[in-house]
Amino acid sequence: MAIELKMPALSPTMEQGTLAKWLKAEGDRIEPGDIIAEIETDKATMEFEAIDEGVLSKILIAAGTEDVAVGAVIALIEGEGEEAATPAPAAAEAPASAPAPAPKAEKPAPAPTAKDPAIPAGTSLTSTTVREALRDAMAEEMRADPRVFVMGEEVAEYQGAYKVTQGLLAEFGPKRVIDTPITEYGFAGIGTGAAMGGLRPIVEFMTFNFAMQAIDHIINSAAKTNYMSGGQMRCPIVFRGPNGAATRVGAQHSQNYGPWYASVPGLIVIAPYDAADAKGLLKAAIRCDDPVVFLENELVYGRNFDVPDMDDYVLPIGKARIMREGSDVTIVSYSIGVGMALDAAATLADEGIDAEVIDLRTLRPLDTQAILTSLAKTNRLIIAEEGWPTCSIASEVIAVCMEQGFDHLDAPVLRVCNEDVPLPYAANLEKLALIDPARIAAAARKVCYK
Amino acid sequence: MAKQPAKPSVAKKTSVPTGDHPDFTLHSLQDAFEANKRYAADDAEMMEFYRQMLLIRRFEEKAGQLYGLGLIGGFCHLYIGQEAVAIGLQSALDNDRDSVITGYRDHGHMLAYGIDPKVIMAELTGREAGISKGKGGSMHMFSTEHKFYGGHGIVGAQVALGGGLALAHQYNNDGGICLAYFGDGAANQGQVYETFNMAALWKLPIVFVVEDNQYAMGTATKRSSAETAFYRRGTAFRIPGMEVNGMDVLEVRAAAEIAFAHVRAGHGPVLMECNTYRYRGHSMSDPAKYRTREEVQEQRDHHDPIEGLKKTLIEAGKTEDELKAIDKGIRADVAQAADFAETSPEPGAGELYTDVLVGEY
Ligand SMILES: Cc1ncc(C[n+]2csc(CCOP(=O)(O)OP(=O)(O)O)c2C)c(N)n1
Ligand SMILES: [Mg+2]
């Protein structure tokens, strides 16, 4: 069989080139490594080297021919003892038949969403701070799974910069509760590598502002390995810590990274509001085989909420929660915004507007069904987000409503977000910059045309 | 072994290892410094150092009070105990040419320039008259007029930024050098070493100063750092190191003279470790459980930079009364600054939207 020599590509983007010159003639003996021809594009010239041995039996493309397609057969080599033969026309004219159309990629339908676990009748509730609920979630998972450990700045001896890891060092010891130097990029990478190596790290960022030092590992290392390895290499890690504005800590320490991480395929992004969700979702995050960015909020850490006294309270990831049922307008929110949305709903109720409040809880994957179902019921929707408006979760929810809920809309969807400025330090300016219940209520009235 | 900071014994540690190559002079600056450790200040200079350090001390004490009263919010990191570092170094700068950059613990470095305490205090209270119009706060103060480039909240970021300021000095051939301060905790950030490499490779005019106050929040250096002799950490980049008692303004000044001359002559960066101590908590909320009261008291009693200089001044013939008079004047200035910061108005609401971008699009 003759060996076909094909037009090579000089770069990943090259589609065609010029066959500038033949350095061998028909009938010449070819050894591997011989330069047979010169190929040119507008960017470069390359020598075409033989890797086979034999006799150059036929030149199919003449020197000087332009626009030769990459992959086109340009010459034939006969191995030792073979008869020179004219190539079959089909081969010479390849590709003769039009390539089969690429099969269209179908996005798999989302799995039927799981429901929150039923809380058995008679289960007692304990008023718990979000801070304690998070700690309890970590402690329970650490008791259950020896692969789980916590690392971060001041998480051990100091008991956590915001006291979320309080008591963990005493119970689990320094092997599993590890103080790191201030080296976010380094320890995020070490955590990610440990997850690849089979451990289940919980990496605490003192605040997510400092995770910007580490965002390369979160996105390039953690989020993409499963995909790039064709599903071989898992990265079950939780990156957690406070996110969003605190109080008067200025522009570099006050930002909501929800939209940043939620835009990255390969990540799970969770941003709970109350203590029960914080606990149930953090436990789910730690068990999850995917990398999870778990966004907490410093201003909510100290708030008390009822948490069911159950041995193993785990919530489904990717499922929103109706915090308050209503029929006139839907207020979608997450994290600290949920509390403000509930306050706004209470104000609106006094005015005769019945608002439904939805806590997204997970920002990626987004529970679009919950949003659309509520929209179909109320026909009006706003989003309250403690974060910048541009390219936000709010923008995403609006897109979902436009694409999939248009027929249900009786008013444009509005977003209530922070002002589009870096957060100022001055007390009065900070107040002006951040969302509050009054602004949420005003937007709700507006979409109700009241 | 845990390092005993800011004690005379510190400086007796061996100097930087020299390596094999004969022209590898990492130790030469330290040798020059050891030969003559205390700057020979004249009386007027010494009095000025005293005044400046005391101003920082009193200003910070007042800031602590105002924080307690709720007039200052967010994070507020005091410089009390570390005064000799900023004054010793910055008094040796050529302020027409040189630049300075630091982290969030920045009040002292601003005051070292002689910037009006009123506009600094007004920034702390978030008022229109503040040096950042109230929009930056304690951690984010800048004075481009003085070539003071802030005021940065992300630990370690100022080191790379300082490298950039030094690049600009070199690029413009303006004869200036950059002084980049960072903490013992910041010294573990990767970008610090990336910057060291480029600074040494390109011979950038920069003095890296580790203000080793023994703790990063609640973490003692020995719990975070494999090498706590920070001055050695440039060795791999062939950056000469210096180890300085940061509780003695005259030692710091002497070291500054040597380091600045080396850098200004085009020999590339210097890494200086100033051993010092912060008396107060990391910021205003600090559980202070990571060290003993006795440890803090020991530093105050035996290594205080202001008391130390006072002793030298008295030996030189100054009287207690003269020094008291200085303190009195400073207290009055600081009280005035506080009044100003309390009573001056908040920024106008329109300021919310200003300064986001320079251009209009
Ligand atoms: C990248 C980053 N990580 C964490 C923090 C939180 N933080 C602020 S100051 C600090 C300690 C820094 O200690 P050090 O460098 O020794 O400086 P010092 O406060 O002692 O002056 C930490 C962890 C931060 N601001 N930036
Ligand atoms: Mg420190």
Q: Is B107 on the interface with A (CB under 8 A)?
A: no
Q: What pLDDT does residue B7 have?
A: 43
Domains and CATH numbers, chain A: 2-85 (2.40.50.100), 127-308 (3.40.50.970), 321-447 (3.40.50.920)
Q: Is A253 a catalytic residue?
A: yes
> How many angstroms separate the alpha carbon of residue B245 from the centre of ligand 1?
22
Q: CA–CA separation, A298 vs A131, rounded Å?
A: 9
**CB-based contact (8 Å) between A213 and chain B?**
yes
Pocket residue to mutate for ligand 1, from A151, A153, A182, A206, most atoms within 8 A of Cβ: A182
Structure-model confidence comparison of residues A397 and B11, the more confident one? A397
* Angle CA A164–A169–A172, to nearest 5: 115
Q: What percent of chain B has pLDDT over 90?
A: 89
* Chain A to chain B Cβ contacts (< 8 Å): 131
Residue A46 has pLDDT above 80, yes or no: no
Distance (Å, whole) CA B330 – CA A103: 80
B156 and A182 in contact by Cβ < 8 A?
Answer: yes
| pLDDT of A347 higher than 90 | yes
Q: From residue B241, give the alpha-carbon distance in Å to each of B157, B159, B268.
A: 21, 16, 12
Residue of A nearest to B132 (CA): A425
Cβ(A235)–Cβ(A267) below 8 Å: no
Q: Is the pLDDT of residue A133 over 60?
A: yes
Confidence of residue A301 (pLDDT cuts 50, 70, 90): very high
Which token pair is B53?
């350090």
Closest CA to A262 of A208, A323, A187: A208
Checking if the pLDDT of A107 tops 90, the result is no
Question: A165-210 pLDDT, tens per residue?
Answer: 999 999 999 999 999 999 999 999 999 999 998 899 999 999 999 9
Looking at beta carbons, which residues of chain A come within 8 Å of B288? none
Identify the pLDDT of residue A106: 79
Bridge partners (DSSP) listed for residue A127: A306
Query: Is pLDDT at B238 greater than 80 in this prediction?
Result: yes
Q: Kindly report the nearest CA distance between residue B110 and chain A, in angstroms.
A: 18
d(CA A317, CA A291): 12
pLDDT at residue B25, rounded to an integer: 61
Residues A319-341: tens digit of each pLDDT: 999 999 999 999 999 999 999 99
Q: How many CB atoms lie within 10 A of CB A21?
A: 16
Q: Which has more confidence, B9 or A285?
A: A285
From the candidates A151, A157, A163, A182, which should be mutated to test the interface with B, based on the most B CB atoms within 10 A?
A182
**Of the given ranges (A254-258, A326-330, A343-347, B20-24), which has the lowest mean pLDDT?**
B20-24
The pLDDT value given to residue B21: 52
Distance A295 CA to ligand 1 centre (A): 21
| Shortest-distance atom of ligand 1 to CA B184 | 16
Average pLDDT over residues A383-389: 98
CB contact under 8 A, A158 and B217: yes
Domains of chain B: 36-340 (3.40.50.970)
Contacts of A429 in chain B (CB under 8 A): 126, 134-135, 346-347, 349, 351-352
Give the nearest ligand 1 atom to B213 CA.
20
Among protein residues, the one with the nearest Cα to ligand 1's atom 19 is B216
Which of A162, A165, A183 is the mutation pick for testing B, counting most B CBs within 10 A? Answer: A183
Q: Which residues of B touch A242 (CB under 8 A)?
A: none
Rg (CA), chain A: 30
Mean pLDDT of A383-405: 98
Is A138 in CB contact (< 8 Å) with chain B? no
Q: What is the pLDDT of residue A338?
A: 98
> Is A424 within 8 Å of B290 when comparing Cβ atoms?
no
Confidence of residue A115 (pLDDT cuts 50, 70, 90): confident
Which one of B137, B152, B356 has the shortest CB-CB distance to A248?
Answer: B137
CB contact under 8 A, A429 and B349: yes
Question: Which among A444, A443, A377 has a CA at the least distance from the CA of A409?
Answer: A377
Q: Is the pLDDT of residue B80 over 70?
A: yes
Predicted confidence (pLDDT) at residue A87 exceeds the cutoff of 70: no
**Count of other CB atoms within 10 angstroms of residue A67:** 10
Portion of chain B with pLDDT greater than 70, in percent: 93
Specify the pairing of strand B178-183 against strand B206-212. Answer: parallel
> What pLDDT was estimated at residue A12?
66
Contact status of B227 with chain A (Cβ, < 8 Å)? no
pLDDT tens digits, one per residue of A207-254 = 999 999 999 999 999 999 899 888 888 999 999 999 999 999 999 999
Q: Which ligand has the shortest distance to the CA of B212?
A: 2
More confident residue, A48 or B354: B354
> Considering the entire predicted model, what is its pTM?
0.82
Q: How confident is the model at residue B3 (pLDDT cuts 50, 70, 90)?
A: very low
What is the rounded average pLDDT of the residues A142-165? Answer: 97
What pLDDT score was predicted for residue B13?
43
Catalytic annotation, pick one of A184, A204, A356, A396: A184
- Among the listed residues A140, A153, A204, A253, the single catalytic one is A253
B148 has pLDDT over 70: yes
**How high does pLDDT run on average in chain B?**
92
Alpha carbon of A23 to ligand 2 centroid (Å): 69
The 10 Å CB-count burial string (b at 16+, else e) for B253-275 is bbbbbbbbebbbeeebbbbbbbb
pLDDT at A104: 76
Over residues B95-126, the pLDDT tens digits come to: 999 999 999 999 999 999 999 999 999 999 99
Instruction: Give B310-339 pLDDT, tens digit per residue.
Output: 999 999 999 999 999 999 999 999 999 999
Measured in whole angstroms, the distance separating CA A153 from the mean position of its chain's CA atoms is: 24
DSSP string computed for B142-158 = -BGGGTEEEE--STTHH
Q: What is the ipTM of this complex?
A: 0.79
pLDDT reported for residue B12: 39
Strand partners of residue A58: A76
CA distance A431 to A427: 6
pLDDT at A178: 96
pLDDT digits (tens, 9 = 90+) for B272-289: 999 999 999 999 888 788
The 8-class DSSP code of residue A206 comes to S
Hey, what are B61's tokens? 């004490």
Q: How far apart are CA A137 and CA B185, in angstroms?
A: 30
Q: How confident is the model at residue B15 (pLDDT cuts 50, 70, 90)?
A: very low
Q: What is the mean pLDDT of residues A77-95?
A: 53
Q: Which residues contact ligand 1 via a Cβ below 6 A?
A: A 153, 182, 184, 206, 210, 213; B 105, 153-155, 183-186, 211, 213, 215-217, 282
Residue A157 designated active-site: no
Q: Where are the beta strands (DSSP E) in A221-346?
A: 238-242, 268-270, 292-296, 304-308, 321-324, 329-333
Instruction: Please name the amino acid found at residue A355.
Output: A
Provide the Cα torsion B201, B207, B212, B217; round to 10°.
-80
Helices (H), chain B: 28-35, 43-68, 83-90, 107-111, 117-124, 157-172, 190-201, 221-224, 249-264, 293-303, 305-315, 320-343
